[in-house]
Amino acid sequence: MVTDLLKKLKVWIVSILRTAEYDPADNYYYIVILSAPVLLTVYRYFSEAQNFLSYFPGLKSEIHGEVYAYMLEYLSFFLLFLVVPTVILTSYKKADTLKTLFSLKCRGKYLAFAFLAILLIIIPSAIHASSLPSVLAEYPLPGALMHDQQMLPVYFLGLFFLYYLPWEFFFRGFLLFGLKDRYGATAAILIQTISSCLVHIGKPAPEIIGAIPFGIAFGIIALRTKNIWIVVLLHASLGIFTDIFIIYQG
């Protein structure tokens, strides 16, 4: 009887997989796509600063406890969105992808483009954002930085290397470059844009709306430059300059 049940279960599973057009040869691509909802869920519900304030109640009594909580959040973000994807790439022998994404070989024209984009697009966008009530109510994330800038250099370093770097590595690297060969560049750009946009749910409306065109543009730039450093600089500049303008105009 048990044997018959197992046979029926096997037939049922095979039928489902056929309906879904499952192909074991595409397991790597399935894992890349599924990593987005899985890792983002873990981050949103278990690894945000408020979680660490509850995990470590002593932080609430520390002078810079809120900043430390956000640094722990960014460290978790680094582990989830850079270390875990790196393990997946290594497991599937995609070392060439890692070398490409982290390559420091960048043409001078792309660096010049980044500099001009920061001056002409990023800084004006940050200035505008810093004047919006919804953005002012949200940033800087550690509100304590508004009246105590002692931790600001450390905070910005953590923000750059533990948050913006893994962010771009995951969305404009792991997802984008991991899917473009299988589904095409356009589909890959849209998939990573959808994923990165959804992370902004709960953020100010201008931010989540801006995440759509910026997500597409950053995807195109990453494919064009064949690494993530330009988009890291652009994204980090937008966030950090917005914080700076809010803090020093407040």
Strand, helix or coil for residue 48:
coil
* Per-residue pLDDT tens digits for 151-210: 999 999 999 999 999 999 999 999 999 999 899 999 999 999 999 998 988 899 999 999
What average pLDDT does the segment 129-149 reach? 92
pLDDT at 99: 81
N- to C-terminal Cα separation, the chain: 74
Mean pLDDT lowest for which of 13-17, 138-142, 231-235?
13-17
Ordered DSSP codes for the chain: -HHHHHHHHHHHHHHHHHHTT--GGGHHHHHHHHHHHHHHHHHHHHSSHHHHHHH-GGGGGSTTHHHHHHHHHHHHHHIIIIIHHHHHHHHTT-HHHHHHHT-----HHHHHHHHHHIIIIIHHHHHHHTT-HHHHTT-SSSGGGGT--TTHHHHHHHIIIIIIHHHHHIIIIIIHHHHHHHH-HHHHHHHHHHHHHHTTTTS-HHHHHHHHHHHHHHHHHHHHHTSSHHHHHHHHHHHHHHHHHHHHH-
CA 44 to chain CA centroid, Å, is 12
Burial grade of 191 (CB within 10 A; 0-12, 13-18, 19 or more): buried
Domain ranges of the chain: 27-249
User: Do 82 and 88 contact (CB within 8 A), yes or no?
Assistant: no
User: Do 65 and 53 contact (CB within 8 A), yes or no?
Assistant: yes
* Per-residue pLDDT tens digits for 198-207: 898 889 999 9
pLDDT at 233: 94
* Per-residue pLDDT tens digits for 58-103: 888 888 899 999 999 999 999 999 999 999 999 998 888 888 787 7
> pTM here?
0.91
Q: Which two tokens stand for residue 126?
A: 């940050």
What average pLDDT does the segment 214-227 reach? 93
pLDDT at 11: 67
User: Do 197 and 107 contact (CB within 8 A), yes or no?
Assistant: no
Q: Which of the 8 DSSP states describes residue 138?
A: T
Rounded to a whole number of angstroms, the CA Rg of the chain reads 21
Strand, helix or coil for residue 25:
helix
